A = this chain, B = another copy of it.
Amino acid sequence: MKDVAALAGVSLSTVSRVVNNASVDPVLAGRVHEAVRRLGYRRDAAAAGLRRSDRASASVGLIVDDVGNPFFSAVHRGLEEVARSRGVLSFAGSSDDSARRERELASSFSAHGVDGLVIVPAADDHRYLERERAAGVPIVFLDRPPRRLLADTVLSDNVGGTRAAAEHLRSAGHTRIAFLGDRARVWTATERLAGCRGIVAPDLVRMNVSDGGAAVRELLDVPDPPTALLCGQNRITIGVLYALRELGLQDRVALVGFDDVPLGALVGVTVVAQDPVALGRYAAELLFARLDGDDSPPRRVVVPTRLIVRAASRAGPRSRRSA
């Protein structure tokens, strides 16, 4: 920048003003632009933020379970879309569902001066983030709410999703509906169970399911077995799909999964679809609103889920017997 000033024959501050397009004499500005072009000058974002009153770095940090997981990478994409429109770059990191790693990432991102943080919580106590927030770094939680901290949160409508799924099965005549859920300590798992409570058969609820295949075999072996299966999580749905196929029961037992599975239309599985891109977009919008000075109370936005009915849930309640 020094060199640009010299070449353009103006002062440092004038160059700074041009670069930040403040008001400067058009003719001087022209000289500066020319010098910038000739020298291939580019402003150093880090140095700029260092001195700037708002200490802004034009970057945000995203912490998810796993950046390689398609659900979270779609979230990342949504966030990027709105960040890009404001010229903001995004860091992303994987917590691998570890509270410690979440804290390390948040700390690293802060040390790098991010302007805001979007976090898919792994920790069960987020008070450690009070410091960042006090430093003026807004934080938005995504997919699951924070613990012991009040902050903006963007969630999928888990409850509405499984309720719609269960009602869909009930209206097809099913009375023996099973629910296969993830680890009970996972917030979304219990929400999804809550959504279908009262419709699924209490004795057919299985939580902490790690292997959908094993769970489905066990369930089909109970005295009055389910005629329909509601899976609370993607991985479980996939395990169930394989097991049902192996047992030759794919057309006999109705199935609804939570979270769309890839090639779902080909496989014909009915699902409750989430919209991870929208999740990321809303989170970014909330974040930038805060950065723009919005200091209203913490908000919670719930993104609707959508039931996509496909062939696999069409098996009727009596098809097993009639086979």
Q: A: which residues have CB within 8 A of B?
A: 40, 42-47, 49-50, 57-59, 66-70, 72-74, 76-78, 80, 84, 87, 89-94, 107-113, 131, 238, 241-242, 245, 261-263, 265-267, 277
Nearest Cβ distance between residue A96 and chain B, in whole angstroms?
10
The complex places the Cα of A92 from the Cα of B89 at a distance, in Å, of: 8
> In terms of DSSP, what is the predominant structure of the interface of chain A?
helix
The complex places the Cα of A242 from the Cα of B74 at a distance, in Å, of: 24
B residues less than 8 Å from A107 (CB atoms): 42
The complex places the Cα of A71 from the Cα of B131 at a distance, in Å, of: 36
Show 12 residue pairs from A and B whose CB-CB distance is below 8 angstroms, ordered by the A residue: A44-B50, A44-B111, A45-B111, A46-B46, A46-B47, A46-B49, A67-B76, A70-B73, A76-B92, A92-B92, A245-B266, A263-B266
Contacting pair B90 A91 (CB below 8 A): yes
Nearest Cβ distance between residue A67 and chain B, in whole angstroms?
5
Nearest first, the 7 closest Cβ-Cβ pairs linking A and B are A68-B77, A262-B262, A73-B73, A46-B46, A70-B70, A45-B112, A45-B111
Closest to A47 in B: B50
Contacting pair B67 A77 (CB below 8 A): yes
Closest to A74 in B: B68
